Amino acid sequence: MNPMEIDMKSVLKTESLTKTFSLSAFALSLGLVMAAAAPAKAVSNTGPVTGPDTLEVAGMAGVKPDALPKVIKAVSPEYPSHAKAIGREGWVIVELDIDEKGMPLNAEIVDDGPSPLFKRATLRAIEQFRFEPAVYAGEPVAVTGKRYKVVYAFQES
């Protein structure tokens, strides 16, 4: 094949990139970085930040809830098409509040990793999450400072 010709099978495989979602309470499964010639799929993995969490009961500085909020509906972020097209990988750490009904509020990016390309997709997905609310003294409560890390990477198909 002439090096200037396009291998349509590779193009079609590349265009059929898919995303997967994984949520782990302890760790994120990160995508493997593959050589550009290998068929790959774009994935986004969302999970809690494994470092110290800034979570506390809203309006009660320093008070931690008795039970943490639990994800009951998670939405996998779309891998941004521009980032996919240029082979960009990265991560975003988002911090949000969760009200006493389990709705995410005030989501903001606290670290956009090596590229700002993933910020919008991350915020769109986080806004669609739903939670079982945190509990303090037997009652559902709003909490502030919950952090999630979203990793965008390519994995072998």
- Give one DSSP letter per residue of 25-60, joined into a string: SS-PPPPPP--TTS-EEEEEEEEE-SS----EETTS
The whole-number pLDDT of residue 11 equals: 33
Number of domains observed in the structure of the chain = 1
Q: Is residue 36 part of a domain?
A: yes
Q: Is residue 2 part of a domain?
A: no
Q: Is residue 1 part of a domain?
A: no
Task: Give the structural domain span for 20.
Answer: 8-156
Q: Is residue 146 part of a domain?
A: yes
More confident residue, 77 or 51: 77
Q: Is residue 3 part of a domain?
A: no
Q: Is residue 14 part of a domain?
A: yes
CB 97 within 8 A of CB 143: yes
pLDDT tier at 41, thresholds 50, 70, 90: low
pLDDT tier at 60, thresholds 50, 70, 90: confident
Q: Is residue 92 part of a domain?
A: yes
pLDDT tier at 13, thresholds 50, 70, 90: very low
| Mean pLDDT, residues 62-83 taken together | 91
pLDDT tier at 49, thresholds 50, 70, 90: low
Q: Is residue 82 part of a domain?
A: yes
- Residue recorded with tokens 């509020």: 105
On average, the pLDDT of the chain sits at 74
Find the CATH number of the domain harbouring 52: 3.30.2420.10
- Summarised one tens digit per residue, pLDDT across range 23-37 is 222 223 222 222 222
